[in-house]
Amino acid sequence: MGLSARILIGLIAGIATGLFFGELVADLKIVGDVFVKLLQITVLPYIVVSLISGFGRMHMDQARRLAVRGILVLFAIWGLALVIIFVAPLAFPDLDSASFFGSPQAHDLQQPDLFELYLPANIFYSLSNNLVPAVVFFSILVGVALISVEDKSGVLPIFDGLADAMSKINAAIVQLTPYGIFAISAAAAGTMTIEELGRVQVYLVTYVCLALLITFWIFPGLVAAVSGISYREVLRTFRDALVTAFATGNQFVVLPQIAENCKELLRNHQLDSEEARSAVDIIVPVSFNFPSLGKLFVLMFVLFAAWFTDTELSTMDRFALAFNGLFSLFGSINIAVPYLLDSLRIPADMFQLFLVTGIVVGRFGAMLAALHIIVLSVIGTLALCGHVQLRPARLLRYVVISSVALLLLMLALRTYFALFVPEPPPREQVLTDIQLMQKRVPASVSSTLPEASVTQLAGTRLDHILRNGVLQVGYRPNNLPCSFLTPDNDLVGFDVEMAHILAQDLGVELQFLPFEFDSLGRMLSSGQMDMAMSCIASLPDRYGYASFSRPYLDLTLAFIVPDHQRELFSELDLLRERKDLVIAMVSSNYFASRITNLLPAASIVYLEAAEDFFTGGSQGADALLLSAEEGAAYSYRYPRYSVARVGRGSIRLPAAYALPKGDVEMIEFVSNWIELKRKDGTIDSLYDYWMLGGAVQSRKPRWSIIRDVLGWIE
């Protein structure tokens, strides 16, 4: 049985296993990760030896012609392909993200060092750190330098032998592909929900439709437009090579066939010459070392991954993707895709999805790669020999037909996706389904402020809590994601969970009381509440009415703004030009002087609660100053708003628990308890759950045959 058939069987068996066992086979993802690492073993060494040998065996006059004309043709092909790729997302439907907390995370993001990325000052460092562009640049430099070496007979055989050795190692590992694909597809099918599977079809259908349009019109039509050879003859000449590449999933095996077809096409139109035949013999093998259409279309998966995970990509991000993608794709897509996902801060787990979808689109990718070599060989040879025909009327007709065809395809795909791609659950429904990770102690929740009290406590506050067996905690009802009431009036959130853990550790029951900042100090000092837990920033002006524990979280300062003004509020220089800017703050005036220094023309208003900004009580404010964590949750609930981090996320503020003023014992007790929860991983797990989207992941195991049909397990 051939490898392709075994891979197909592995894929089908994996999907069937995942559907049968469900989440029980989720750990097979580890096997899939091992397989991916094995595939990457020989990639970078192969890049080095193949590029050096490919350039090294050329003559200087051939290199000059390629540099002047052939590279221009290659850039033109790349440019046309990139236009098509970046038009493709127009077909993606508008779906709101179903994650509770979106992409504006509070983690520090390291910007790549462009000098390190592209300049191989230490090639061994570049190799060990998977810096693909630097490795490619080094290999090209060595290969070009070899062109001028007179006696290469002792050098090139070494690189050819190494390339053969790498190919043999890779061929041996490729034999494991059916097993690796089985593990990856089983884990994906066992954990992927029906809604996620429905959204994956957006990529698959778009890829296949664009591949067919490019194969059967855009690039054969381009060859016909610049050569004067009829479209039918171009397609007929290379039909067998394209079908073979599709059937085998490998464009390398059709290189000799493509070269012979090119020479045949030139002979049929009296364009054959020694120079033309030499050009074909050079371009066909050398072009295999450059990113092909099949590889470039990997960039569409990155764009899909950004859409799938609701990751915002700016215009500069897209330019960076095109530029970095070209360099990265000189090597293996198994290294390029994780690198591109990381560079755009798209979740790395999307690479597993790429491998699974690659089984479907891989054959179309091989066909596109073969088409790329065909177009480059024909047009490149004609350009080198001076036979390109640039007739305006013919080119205009080609551009109009191609543009209309591409536009109609995008409209048809968008209509199809709007009808058949499942919508994520409504936002309010997601909020209704949110639960605490665990309800640890009995708890009562009051929705109204208690009566003012002047009760004097006997003993210390901690003694009072332990003696009465009740911990009274203040909360803010609409402080997403720290403390908030769901549509079913369940109190949930990061600090609600922390309060449950604290009460469990003390062995007491729990009572939640709402508070406002103007009454917080009085409620703490009178004994109406023991502490307030609701992502309160321990700012200097608040120490006038309360004391604070040591911080348990570092929040990132951000502006919450209408979505269309997100880029404006990310650049302070642009904001300074606004003369009528109004900034809203909640309670504290700590940042007022800093905002005034940064934005002298801005006015400041104070709100009782962040919710007021979104529900008509904004007092004319253009933006709300809040933490990015809270703001991202609000932007989820109110999708017309987005988070713009102040200073690109460099300004942080500590979140702490408010305690009775001057109660040293309580301050030390809570601070020590926070340190314990930090060291045992509790705070990190709660951050992942409440701040990074875990709260909306279904707590019910995904449907599977073994559980829901056969009933063999609970």
Q: Give the tens place of pLDDT for each residue, 8-37.
A: 788 789 889 988 998 888 888 888 778 777
Phi, psi of 291 (to 5 degrees): -55, 125
Please tell me the predicted confidence (pLDDT) of residue 102.
Answer: 43
Could you tell me if 410 and 465 lie in one domain? no
Does residue 247 lie within any of the structural domains? yes
Least confident of 89-93, 146-150, 234-238: 146-150
- 444 and 520 co-located in one domain: yes
Residue 99 has pLDDT above 50, yes or no: no
Contact of 472 with 529, CB cutoff 8 Å: yes
Listed residues 391, 420, 449: the one ending a domain: 420
| pLDDT beyond 70 at 181 | yes
C-alpha 136 chain-centroid distance: 24
- pLDDT score, position 671: 96
CB contact at 8 A, 526 and 663:
no
Q: Return the ∠ at Cα 282 (arms to 168 and 242), rounded to 5°.
A: 70
458 and 383 co-located in one domain: no
User: 282-299, pLDDT tens digit by residue?
Assistant: 677 667 667 888 889 889
Chain segment 53-95, per-residue pLDDT in tens? 767 766 777 667 667 777 888 888 889 999 999 999 898 887 6
Token pair in block for residue 70: 């052939």
What's residue 421's pLDDT? 75
Q: How many domains does the chain have?
A: 2
Q: Please count the other Cβ atoms lying within 10 Å of the Cβ belonging to residue 255.
A: 18
My answer on whether 283 and 403 are in the same domain is yes
Task: Quote the CA–CA distance of 86 and 77 in Å, as a whole number.
Answer: 14
Give the pLDDT confidence score for residue 695 in this predicted structure.
58
Residue 509 in any domain: the answer is yes
CB 197 within 8 A of CB 702: no
Instruction: Using alpha carbons only, give the angle 354, 356, 362 rounded to the nearest 5 degrees.
Output: 80
Residue 262 and residue 368 share a domain:
yes
Task: Tell me, yes or no, whether 704 lies in a domain.
Answer: no
Q: What is the mean pLDDT of the chain?
A: 81
Kindly report, residue by residue over 445-478, the tens digit of the pLDDT: 987 766 655 555 656 888 889 998 999 999 988 7
- Does some domain include residue 710? no
| C-alpha to C-alpha distance for 203 and 297, rounded to whole angstroms | 11
Q: Is residue 427 part of a domain?
A: no
Q: Are residues 457 and 412 in the same domain?
A: no
**Same domain (yes/no): 528, 652:** yes
425 found inside a domain: no
pTM of the model: 0.57
pLDDT at site 69: 78
In a domain, 711, yes or no: no
Asked if 351 and 454 sit in the same domain, the reply is no
Retrieve residue 166's tokens.
């790498």
Q: What CATH number is associated with residue 592?
A: 3.40.190.10
Residues 339 and 464 placed together within one structural domain of the fold: no
The enclosing domain of 132 has a CATH number of 1.10.3860
Highest mean pLDDT among 157-166, 442-451, 526-535: 526-535
Q: Look at residue 105 in the predicted model and tell me its pLDDT.
A: 43
Task: Identify the sign of the CA torsion 585, 590, 591, 596.
Answer: positive
| Domain with 236 in it | 8-420
Q: Which of 420, 447, 466 is the last residue of a domain?
A: 420
**Region of poorest pLDDT, from 12-21, 300-309, 359-368, 611-620:** 359-368
pLDDT at 217: 92
- Ranking 148-152, 531-535, 652-656 by mean pLDDT, the lowest is 148-152
CB 569 within 8 A of CB 628: no
Residue 597 lies in a domain: yes
Tokens of residue 299, six digits: 């960039």
Position 275 pLDDT exceeds 80:
no
Q: Give the residue among 354, 8, 340, 64 at the shortest CA–CA distance from 182.
A: 8
Q: Is the pLDDT of residue 689 over 70?
A: yes
Q: How many Å apart are CA 344 and CA 322, to the nearest integer? A: 12
What's the confidence (pLDDT) of residue 664? 92
Structure tokens at 497: 């969970």
> How far lies 106's CA from each of 109, 115, 350, 372, in Å?
9, 27, 21, 43
Same domain, 442 and 407: no
Instruction: Please determine, for residue 202, whether its predicted confidence score (pLDDT) is greater than 50.
Output: yes
- Domain check: are 390 and 452 in the same one? no
Looking at the structure, tell me whether residues 378 and 449 fall in a common domain. no
Cis peptide before 481 (omega within 30 of 0): yes
pLDDT interval class at 693 (50, 70, 90): low
Q: Is the pLDDT of residue 112 over 90?
A: no
